[in-house]
Chain A
Amino acid sequence: MISALLTAGSTASPIPLELPVPLEITAPKLEYGILAPLMIMMVAACLSVLVEAFVPRQSRRPVQIGLTLVALVAALIGTLNSWSGASYQLAAQQTLALDAPSYATWALLLIFSIGVVVLFAERNGSTETAFVASASSVPGSATEREATAAHQEQTEVYPLMLFSVFGMMMFAASNELIVMFVALEIFSLPLYLLCGLGRRRRLISQEAALKYFLLGALSSAVFLYGVALLYGASGSFELASIDSAMTAQPGSSRIALAGMGLVCVGLLFKVGAVPFHTWVPDVYTGAPSPVTAFMSVATKIAGVVAMVRVLYVGLGALRWDWQPLVAVLAVATMAVGCLVGLVQTDMKRLLAYSSIAHAGFMLVGIAGAYTVQTGMTQGSSGSFSSVMVYLIGYGLATIGMFVIIMMVRKSGGESNEIASWAGLGRRHPWLGAVVTLFMLSFAGIPLTFGFIGKLLVLTAGWRGGWAWLSLLGVLFSAVAAFFYLRVVAVVFFRSPGPAAEAVEVSPISTGSWLVLVICALATLGLGLYPQPLIDVFDHAATFLR
């Protein structure tokens, strides 16, 4: 399958039509060594499907979890190996740019995915995961009741997740728009499915999946149309060729502009930027919590990196056109995320708006386009590294918060109303302290890693010449602080009302504890001593062209 994809991508250069085309298929040249992480994920995903078919039902769960973790760790080792060996090259017939930003993104995706797998497997001390017992059963039917009573488990979530991670890794590394589109579909389709697999409130979960699918399809179409227009304007799908075509004709055509706009729409949809954010609150709320955690962290990472790559590498010549666009949308995104976040009453919905607001802050850094090309000294903090640092801070706090969301339960499942969290910090001081830490990190308060990310992103915007945008960013981070601190106030200072009486903190597996503790320690530790990590990403900011 992969070779078929890659050959399809390699036919990019236009072939003169009058010559007879010899019917000869040259085998694509593949760099197996550095492509190993991708292939591991692909093979593991296929194996995982086979496990579903051939392994008896009782032992599927441990096999699937083991296989997924092994695949993720193996891919991570491969990634780190290539990254530390600085084996950067355009691989697979120039369709994938295996450069430092790609490896950095892969590493982040894989590490966060390991955390998410633990949440996928979490059973909260009972025999039930967050996923439905049998996805094919009609909600409320007898089949569903039987499956639940038999303690069945939908272990297909693991292959779905593996496919999705594979797609995201490819998406972030794509050097060619067609491959990027295919990767986008590879990681999106499993996500649509995963969203519909909630155990509780199944109809809402399925509705979320359908919404996500329909809107995702719409945005994919827009993206693909943009790709076609860019091909029309430049005669190539390859980012570097598009860039050189644009540079060659300074007053670039309207077709190129339209293509740029539409490709941006597709990418902004995945990132969750306003006005393409409408799916985010509904899907985040409806999807099972582990899937929401996966989407809000991994999709964001892949989307942001792909966007930076397309804008900086492929459309660098059109910088004066997309910078105002990204800046305007950054303001809109921060505004909508922060303001609507103020009036939310549901924890997952609050995190959805928080994720929109965070996308806005990252857009500030992206709009700044502070890179080596625009006067940054090599190895200092520019737009790309600051956005990566931001993503880490955001990812740590988000995954940590989702562990806690999965812990706070009432009899009907998770208790997501913010009001029902009242007084939680008094009964469980440590849990309250950790919630506070994550909220402070979200709000960007000093001595947490969230502050470092915000500082770097806003500085990158400022240095890129977008001072007013950075100042607005500071303003909106003050507004955002308000709604994060409101959660802290509820958790510690509000007396528990009737809704909060029924709430209890359920036990979680050792793995989840570990994820929570690591997220908390990293948020605090990196907030105190961030420079080494910043250095790592400062030196991983050069895109291969």
Chain B
Amino acid sequence: MIPLDTVPLETVLPVAASGLFSLAWLMIAIPLAGAGLLLVLGRRSDSWGHLLGALAPIASFVIGLVLFIELLGRDPSQRNVSVPVYDFIDLGSWHLGIDLQVDQLSILFVLLVTFVGSLIHIYSIGYMAHDPHRRRFFGYLNLFIASMLILVLADNYLMLFIGWEGVGLCSYLLIGFWYQRPAAAAAGNKAFIMNRIGDLGLTMAIFTMLAQFGTVNFTQVSQRAPGLSGSWAALLGFMLLLAACGKSAQFPLQDWLMDAMEGPTPVSALIHAATMVTAGVYLVVRSHAIYAQSYSATLAVAIIGTITLLMGAWIGSTKKDIKRVLAGSTMSQIGYMMLAAGLGPIGATFAIFHLITHGAFKANMFLGAGSVMHGTGDDTDMYHFGALAKVMPLTFWTFACGYLAIIGFPFTSGYFSKDHIIEAAFDTGPVFGVLALIGAGITAYYMTRLMVLTFLGQRRWRTGVHPHESPATMTVPLIVLAILSIGAGLVMTGWIGDWLAPATGSHPEHTGVLHISVIGVITLVVVAAGVVTGWLTNRHGVPSEEPATSNPVALIGRNDIYGRAIDDAVVVRPATALAHGISSFDSSAVDGGAMGTAGVMAGLGTALRKLQNGYVRSYGLHTAIGVVVVGVVVILGRMA
């Protein structure tokens, strides 16, 4: 264990909670109570359950906003607030408390989760209006909000893990919400099982921290990390990266995210775009002190991020399903965040910046896609759309705002956040920079393709489909998110660097809003090229069914770059083989009475059971033998 006092104190120590901060636990408790109420009351709450469900995240958001304003008014050294909730268990030397940490990083997440969460709850009132199980849906959503807040407000890795598992559970429940559909049920299972692999990384990391630091508290880990040996730091870094890859759908654990699109669209927007899938980035940024000790682990983060950003963009360029294009895009954008997180302290700030803007504009586009599906009878095939801009103007214009943001149109939110990442990548290594730049170009291409296929061009609607604009409960959230997509970057760009500096250990450099660099200009040119390509190739002569292709690039993309095959080879087949092996071993062991744990245990149990023959005389004899045994043990104890 590394003693505390040999290490220079660079980390900001949390200050005790006072006033409103001691109520921070309410942010978690309210949605948790909402979930409990909706799930326990069952059908009795069907008529009003969705309203209660929607109020819960709004209440949490209000509390979060008040705390945020409070933090804004404080001196930077006072912005890391520790909120003890209760002592879980105290064994003297080993103490485990349920404590929250409200600091610059977690409060941003709280705002993102509760604000986007509230909008998506409201949207779902309309979207799920005809679903008989809408109340259950809201129960799960509330449970998700509570779990996600536990994840980001935890002040130690163990509690983070509880939230981590909680969001995983909700993800499983919500992907498989329409479990009557085999594809949805299978997708839920896949997401859950693939996440197990990542969770293994997190549990191993927690055990390693307990062994190396004797604590899993964020602040203490940060303080003691500089004393870590290089190989332990690298090992810890890789374990945490494995965890992040599972949760954030990064290569090689990325494939579950595509299947997760089987869930209802608000779920895709909330969990699989804006919040849960970014938890891996949060984990890496939170663990910055560990990554600071290991160059190889940091480099690995950047490499994984780069691979995934290109893979996601590739997949997004070839899909016909609007939600899967967006899923590929999500993967790709999280790849950018990972890349940024792997660029060291300054990148971490940009990673969080991009995470927040992405949360807004991707949720915007997913909800837009949901609105399109709502209007076209739950169709997701873009070859069946076309010219929807005229019949769904609100959806189109809000979607367009998201589109401009993701391609990085000047002064939209994505422009500020993504350009920073590309520049920082060039600063660190030209290879990363060039690849990130190429990714930006492909992003522009596939997003333009999506826009053109869906909203412009010729109408290719199926017969009997009458696209129509969605109700206000759905369009109002879209408008709010569209405003954020455009404006959030402009508001935050000059501020977020300073704000996050203490939490990410970075030293911000100040760039003005009108900051123009060579790389920024090149990026704009590449993006423009992508847009033009996307426009020209999809403008005319679009078939009403996806055309067959022999183009290997398109084929590979349509098959998710064979992610499923990789999963099969690496996970499914070995696991099945192992299960078969164990099963046959077990049955032969038990049936044949051969050696084997289960067999021996059961055999021993059966043998001991024979002593229990029901005759009281035997029992009396056992007691007498017991007395002798006691005597022998006492005598032996004396002799020993």
Contact surface of A with B, Cβ cutoff 8 Å: 210-211, 214-215, 218-219, 222, 257-258, 260-262, 264-265, 269, 274-276, 278-279, 281-282, 320-322, 324-325, 328-329, 336, 339-343, 377, 380-381, 452, 455-456, 459, 479, 529-531, 534
Contacts and interface: CB of A to CB of B under 8 A. Distances in A.
A320 B461 CA distance: 87
B251 to A, nearest CB: 33
B616 interface: yes
Given A264-B630, A321-B634, A342-B601, A215 B89 contact: no
A14 B614 CA distance: 45
A282 B618 CA distance: 13
Interface in B47-93: 86-92
A377 B638 contact: no
- Identify whether the interface residues of A are mostly helix, strand, loop, or mixed: helix
B602 A261 contact: no
Given A264-B630, A329-B633, A531-B86, 10 more contacts: A215-B620, A261-B627, A265-B630, A274-B626, A281-B612, A320-B637, A324-B633, A324-B640, A343-B602, A343-B605
Interface string B609-631: 10110101011101101110111
Given A324-B640, A325-B634, A340-B608, A214 B616 contact: yes
A210 B626 CA distance: 21
A529 B626 CA distance: 41
Given A211-B616, A529-B86, A278 B623 contact: yes
B593 to A, nearest CB: 14
Contacts of A479: 601
B623 A339 contact: no
A257 B638 contact: yes
Contacts of A278: 611-612, 618-619, 622-623
Contact of B612 (A260, A329, A339, A340): A340
A215 B623 contact: yes
Given A281-B612, A339-B604, A381-B92, A265 B87 contact: no
B606 interface: yes
A244 to B, nearest CB: 22
B579 to A, nearest CB: 16
B616 A381 contact: no
Contacts of B609: 340, 343
A218 B606 contact: no
Contacts of B90: 531, 534
Contacts of B89: 452, 455, 530-531, 534
Contact of B634 (A218, A260, A459): A260
A279 B614 CA distance: 9
Nearest to A339: B605
A340 B605 contact: yes
B630 A282 contact: no
Interface in B214-246: none
Contacts of B626: 265, 274-276
Contacts of B88: 529-531
A530 B637 CA distance: 37
Given A343-B609, A377-B92, A218 B633 contact: no
Interface string B327-339: 0000000000000
B637 to A, nearest CB: 4
A218 B638 contact: no
> Which bracket fits the contact residues of B?
35 or more
Q: Which of A210, A211, A340, A381 has the most CB of B within 10 A?
A: A340
Interface string B577-618: 000000000000000000000000110111011011010101
B596 to A, nearest CB: 14
B620 A218 contact: yes
A527 to B, nearest CB: 10
A276 B618 CA distance: 12
Contact of B91 (A260, A261, A262, A381): A381
Contact of A282 (B604, B606, B614): B614
Q: Which of A257, A278, A343 has the most CB of B within 10 A?
A: A278
Given A282-B614, A325-B633, A269 B92 contact: no
A263 to B, nearest CB: 10
Contacts of B631: 258, 261
Contacts of A281: 612
A158 B121 CA distance: 56
Contacts of A275: 622-623, 625-626, 629
A279 B619 contact: yes
Contacts of B92: 377, 380-381
Nearest to A326: B633
Contacts of B637: 320-321, 324-325
Nearest to B612: A281
A380 B94 CA distance: 12
A479 B616 CA distance: 29
A534 B89 CA distance: 9
A222 B622 CA distance: 14
A325 B631 CA distance: 9
B86 A265 contact: no
B591 to A, nearest CB: 15
A448 to B, nearest CB: 13
Contacts of A322: 634
Contact of A211 (B604, B619, B622, B627): B619
28 contacts: A214-B620, A215-B616, A257-B638, A261-B627, A261-B630, A261-B631, A262-B627, A262-B630, A264-B630, A269-B623, A275-B623, A282-B614, A282-B619, A321-B637, A321-B638, A324-B634, A325-B633, A325-B634, A329-B633, A340-B605, A340-B609, A380-B92, A381-B91, A381-B92, A452-B89, A529-B88, A531-B86, A534-B89
Contacts of A380: 91-92
B619 A342 contact: no
A261 B629 CA distance: 10
A505 B625 CA distance: 44
Contact of B623 (A219, A381, A531): A219
A342 B88 CA distance: 32
B620 to A, nearest CB: 6
A459 B92 CA distance: 11
Contacts of B633: 324-325, 328-329
A377 B90 CA distance: 13
A214 B91 CA distance: 43
Contacts of A459: 91
A402 B426 CA distance: 68
Nearest to B625: A275
A260 B634 CA distance: 9
A45 B190 CA distance: 62
A530 B86 CA distance: 10
Q: Which of A281, A325, A381 has the most CB of B within 10 A?
A: A325
A177 to B, nearest CB: 18
Closest 9 CB pairs of A and B: A275-B626, A278-B619, A324-B637, A343-B605, A339-B605, A342-B605, A531-B87, A211-B616, A261-B630
Contacts of B630: 261-262, 264-265, 325, 329
B434 to A, nearest CB: 48
B600 to A, nearest CB: 9
A339 B619 contact: no
Contacts of A456: 91
Contacts of A269: 623
Q: Which of B86, B89, B606, B630 has the most CB of A within 10 A?
A: B630
A455 to B, nearest CB: 7
A365 to B, nearest CB: 13
A183 to B, nearest CB: 21
A452 B88 CA distance: 10
A89 to B, nearest CB: 30
Nearest to B162: A447
Nearest to A217: B620
B634 A261 contact: yes
A138 to B, nearest CB: 21
A314 to B, nearest CB: 16
Contacts of B604: 339
A455 B92 CA distance: 13
B33 to A, nearest CB: 14
